[in-house]
Amino acid sequence: MKFRNLGRSGLKVSEIAYGNWLTHGSQVEEDAARASVHAALDEGITTFDTADAYAGTRAEDVLGRALEGQRREGLEIFTKVYWPTGPGPNDSGLSRKHIMESLHGSLRRLRTDYVDLYQAHRFDHETPLEETMRAFDDLVRQGKVLYVGVSEWRAEEIERALKIADEMGFDRIVSNQPQYSMLWRVIEAEVVPLCEREGIGQIVWSPIAQGVLTGKYLPGRPLPEGSRATDDKGGADMIKRYLDDDLLARVQELKPVAADLGLTMAQLAVAWVLQNPNVSSAIVGASRPEQVRDNVKAAGVKLDADVLKRIDEILADFVVRDPDKTRSPRTRP
């Protein structure tokens, strides 16, 4: 495994992070989840990402049990706050009340005294940003959170948070967690330039585009049994935008590119996001240990300019670049 600094901070994270969205507590049984976590540890992954809302808080519970007994100082445990964790009007968003209550719930479920990174899962238009930033800073000063980050924030929202932190003497945001892949590049125009300038690293999710970039979805063919596209617990909804026969045909053209490099399609996709110097870590999920073992081989892989150009030529018509695709709900869910 290779390691990178999280933005300009001193925190080192594994180039490949293990994430448990859509798997732990919902898509796979706990034994399979534990086996995947242990495979990640065996392969040198030290960075684990989750969120309080995943599987209705069950994902944090599963990850906490799977990591029990590990040396805490050797791990970087990340979680998030924003999406609903209960039925009440204050069970979502980034109010001081919800941030404090959610963090304490996450610590209980994760079986730890602190998290290495606490992330605002979306921007909250209903809460003053000063209130949110002060609550995060208080948790840092209490030692319950070591670093603060955001997820799926627009460049202007990140910039506002940085200005408030500087004016009020709060800890600055060190990371952003956006969707990013060969097919989804909406952060490149505005978010990445700002983050490079301000020392914020990207922890990217869905580097294999919900599994489409593995090449297992074939144009004009039935969906593979047991794949994310057949998952009725959330996976199918996320992947459906990619299930276009013309796009799937283009993805098949990446197979010889990967083969020439001695990589699987998934390894090529993960390696591609890691070529961006602003990316600190790529999150991979898994329902089976062998998926983890395959993905980690992307760590340290260098793709030359000709390979990157060839990928761009193959996927050109299907790449989404519009920064306006990054949006948070106008009202709390």
Q: Which DSSP helix (H) or strand (E) runs through 271?
A: helix 265-274
Partners of 117 in the β-ladder: 78, 147
Torsion angle of the four alpha carbons 112, 113, 119, 121, in this order, in degrees rounded to the nearest 10: 60
Is the Cβ–Cβ distance between 178 and 187 less than 8 Å? yes
Helices 96-110 and 58-67: crossing angle, nearest 10°?
40
What's the Cα-to-Cα distance from 300 to each of 145, 272, 273, 296, 303, rounded to whole Å?
29, 11, 12, 9, 10
Is the Cβ–Cβ distance between 188 and 213 less than 8 Å? no
Q: Which residues contact 307 (CB under 8 A, 6 or more apart)?
A: 257, 261
Q: Which two tokens stand for residue 318?
A: 């299907």
The catalytically annotated residue of 54, 118, 180, 242 is: 54
What's the Cα-to-Cα distance from 288 to each of 24, 35, 294, rounded to whole Å?
11, 7, 10
Q: Which two tokens stand for residue 242?
A: 């990619």
Is residue 82 flagged as an active site residue? no
- Positions annotated as catalytic residues are 54
